[in-house]
Structure 1
Amino acid sequence: MEKKYKIQILDAKKDSDLLFKIVEHENEVFGEATVGNWNIKPIAKYGKVFAAVTNDEKEELISVIEVLSSFDRELAYIYGVSTVPKFEKKGYATALLRYVIQYLKKLEIKKIELTVDTDNFTAQKIYKKLNFEIVEDLENEYGDNIKRYLMRYVGV
């Protein structure tokens, strides 16, 4: 059976159209917390943008993860994880996260962290299933009265 999707690491120049589709998607999903047009290309250039896309001529966006890392490669920070609504609840974000974790482990990154809304129980469940644990409560992380959990990958 042919795989219904493929994973790509996006290039800031070659994948410009898909990067802007990611911004449109994140505007719908995250509102003001989106990565935005001003940031998506620098993240693709100096960090990594991973995308799951349909494995056909359309190459429709399914799921996306943006990753930043520290200069010393000690820490990678997963900035955003999202799935296009029509593809939600089918395991794409989980599969993409597994891919990203393996990719980062091959680079010998020592710590992988992300933040999640304290009320986003679905995402927390996925992250815990993939060996992330809550290590800190963050106050005012993205603005006044916005609470998030800092989660860290503790897998072997």
Structure 2
Amino acid sequence: MLGGLGWDTPARAAGSRAGLAATRVPVPGTHPSWAVPARRFGASGVTAGTVNLRVYLASRDPAGLSGYAAAVSTPTSALYHHYLSPDQVTARFGPAPAQVRAVRSWLTPAGFTVTAVRAGAAGAYAAARGTVSAARKAFAVTFAIYRGPDGRLD
């Protein structure tokens, strides 16, 4: 799959299956500029195969995370150079456990096998594997093969 999808707020990611489907939004910057109709290989889309994917989870407090990052970098701040450990960042700003459970419980009945769940200071995601058919239905996307800038088919 070229590109990415996400939910526009952490609260919506913890919502119902129907609510999740209604709030999918493309993640900006995840669609390669060269994946355009003129570079599409073949007239039909990809309908068979396996898809490995990751659903990235938003911080439970993105404004707080941004504010803390600014504070530890500002010499006049009381928090200047008071860095958090990776575990502290995850505990304070990572996705809520309910959000992780909601994504897992959405992926499984949608036809995916959850292969990993990771949460850390660098971000959090649920990795999953499923069929192209399941991905098309779950994410309302189509799959195609494109000739990349290097001439390879991707």
Give the TM-score normalised by structure 1: 0.28
Determine which structure has the larger strand proportion and give its number.
Answer: 1
